[in-house]
Amino acid sequence: MDRSWLTRRLKPLASGSNATAESSGLVEAAVLVPVVERAAGPALLLTKRAPDLKDHAGQVCFPGGRIEPEDPDPAATALREAREEVGLAPEQVALLGRLPCCRTGTGFRIHPVVGWVDREPLLCPDPKEVEEIFFLPLHQALDPRRYRWECLGEGAARRRFPVLPHPRHRIWGATARILFDLARILDGRG
């Protein structure tokens, strides 16, 4: 699996289209799904959010955040946020494509943008936003059978979401949904 193979399977990036134009009352956000070439093989860069943040404190996620009016498109948001949160320079990222939008039960519509990083970068997490950076081997995320499904809430508010087992972190909700979508798309089922 290499960069060109990933690019062929992903949806092309829509250039210059700010996602907020399609707003449906949800907060528009974008995340970078960084695939980093490492000695042991490609891995996904993930973060654990700082424990005192207002939204999604302590959760595992990709670098990302709200789309600002000055961001020309979700890719620009994802790159800006990756620089701010973990110190990943935009010029180190080759944008490959996008995944389907992911709506959350907390009122966000997330636009996942997939990028390739040729070698493991020197990262500098912002301690106000990121408690930890870690890497998940890509092959572990790409098997849809590894995911289990859980439910939260009751009645009409009941939501079903994927969970990807990990020895140290709980990978669930929108992050696991994005990973599951990536697995299905790369497996030819998405």
Does the global pTM surpass 0.95?
A: no
Mean of pLDDT values over 139-167: 87
- Listed by start position, the domains of the chain span 3-13+25-186
**pLDDT tens string 60-84:** 999 999 999 999 999 999 999 999 9
Question: Can you tell me the distance from the alpha carbon of 8 to that of 58, in angstroms, rounded to the nearest whole number?
Answer: 34
**pLDDT tens string 15-42:** 555 544 455 789 999 999 999 999 999 9
Helix (H) / strand (E) containing 160: strand 159-164
On the question of pLDDT at 1 being above 90, the answer is no
- pLDDT for position 57: 63
State the burial class of residue 25 (Cβ atoms within 10 Å of its Cβ: 0-12, 13-18, 19+): exposed
Which class in CATH covers the domain with range 3-13+25-186? alpha beta
Mean of pLDDT values over 133-162: 88
